[in-house]
Amino acid sequence: MGIEFIDGGVCAPIGFKAAGVHCGIRKNKEKRDLALIYTDTAATAAAMYTSNLVKGAPLIVTKENIKDGCAKAVICNSGNANTCNADGEEKAYRMCEIVANALSISESDVIVASTGVIGQVLPIEPIESAAETLASELSASGNDNAAEAIMTTDIMKKQVAAEFVIDGKTCRIGGMAKGSGMIHPNMATMLCFITSDVKISTDCLNSVLKDVVNKTFNMVSVDGDTSTNDMVSVLANGRAGNFEITGGENAEIFKDALFKVLESLSRMIASDGEGATHLIECVVSGAKSWEIAKTVSKSVICSSLMKAAIFGADANWGRALCAIGYSGADVDVQKIDVSFKSVAGEIAVCKNGAGVEFSEEIAKKILVEHDVSILVNLNEGHESATAWGCDLTYDYVKINGDYRT
């Protein structure tokens, strides 16, 4: 058995339950705004956080809570980021206390997160009032409601799960994420909560998470803005029954499965970028190192001009070359090949750093598809990297022009 995608999101692993309710932080009563994930079995915990110097209070509290490498629950509200508030940490600790009381666990066993408007005081009363209901609604099929409750400007719920085998035991990883705007990660991205029933050491989990995030979430950009609230966390409760993973082959199996889950979520985030009509994937091959391939691919998907060209289905490949040229990567521009690809076909537009004749009509048919790939071959080595982004549309400005009001 290899790695197979399954249903269930964060509830797919054994022993995990989730719930999502409307508590009143959002004015729209039809939108859930408070999510809870819980395992009654003590779990190994790991997390990564935004590199932005301005950090939301929940990140600071979570880092303190899981310094022992353990947690049992995740609480997250949407509609208010609890960032840049004088009482931010107090409110974040209070959220942990509320969850602890509702589930009869330790306050330090809670991962806390918030997303939404920055600099707006978080009202704690709605969370207090909803705690009992939220806890009572925890179920092994609550992943849909939980995934909905963490959304802000997201259009689609983002969740995925995978199944694989370690030590003859069927193991699972589930994940849910939110993210649509203010996405340009460096060390983590948006909010993502991962669950697993594998048994794994804290050191190994931290190491695997860092490696996988660097090649998935850190390869996503919607708009070039690194959020103050970005965090990705993992809970692994060991219920699958495998021997504890500390390294070696089993760690690689777990890493591969985690990569599949986070790669899928990464694509969902890029595809659901604010106002987006296209998912843009830049696949760079033939690089002298992975770092060069990463730099080039991210520069291309971050280019506002390239993003605008894809929005208009304009095969303006020169904008890709331009982005590569200012990326800072050590490349020979006279060796670069570029092609555009989608389900409608593939067309070469640049060879050895210079344009080649191509059909604008065929190129247009390729670029009007939702998922568009920009293929860049540097022809200098054997390393490759993939980055994901989205097009830049009129609606992105509209959404962010009145985001707060």
Please list the alpha-helical segments (H only) found in 33-87. Answer: 57-65
Q: Set out the domains of the chain in order of their start, with CATH numbers.
A: 4-271 (3.60.70.12), 279-401 (3.10.20.340)
Note whether 175 and 262 are within 8 A (CB): yes
Residue 188: per-residue pLDDT: 41
| Structural element, H or E, at residue 5 | strand 4-6
CB-based contact 82:228 (threshold 8 Å): no
SS3 210: helix
> Does residue 119 contact residue 84 with C-beta atoms inside 8 Å?
yes
Residue type at position 130? A
The pTM of the whole model exceeds 0.85: yes
- The answer to whether the beta carbons of residues 43 and 72 sit under 8 Å apart is yes
Provide the 10 A C-beta neighbour count for residue 352.
12
Q: Which residue has the tokens 């719920």?
A: 157
- Could you give the CA distance from residue 115 to residue 191 in angstroms, rounded to a whole number? 8
C-alpha neighbours within 13 Å on the C-beta side of residue 342: 18
Closest CA to 195 of 41, 314, 336: 41
Mind telling me the catalytic residues?
A: 189
pLDDT value, residue 187: 38
**3-state DSSP call for residue 375?**
strand
Tokens 């948006």 — which residue?
190
d(CA 230, CA 55): 8
Residues linked to residue 376 through DSSP beta bridges, in sequence order: 284, 338
- The residue among 36, 65, 34, 73 whose CA lies nearest residue 49 is 65
Separation of alpha carbons 288 and 237, rounded Å: 40
> What are the mean pLDDT values of the chain's consecutive 10-residue runs (405 residues total)?
94 98 91 97 94 85 97 96 92 98 98 90 96 98 98 90 98 92 54 97 97 93 65 97 98 98 94 87 98 97 94 96 97 98 98 97 98 98 96 82 65
H helical segments located in 272-393:
290-302, 304-311, 318-325, 360-367
Phi-psi region of 168 (alpha: psi -120 to 50; beta: other; left: phi over 0): left
Sheet with 371-377, side-by-side order of all strands: 354-355, 345-351, 337-342, 371-377, 279-287, 383-390
What are residue 283's DSSP bridge partners?
A: 375, 386
Q: Where are the alpha helices (DSSP H) in 115-247?
A: 125-136, 143-149, 202-215
Handedness of CA 173, 68, 36, 230 (dihedral sign): negative
Residue 218 C-alpha from the chain's centroid: 8
3-state SS assignment for residue 90: helix
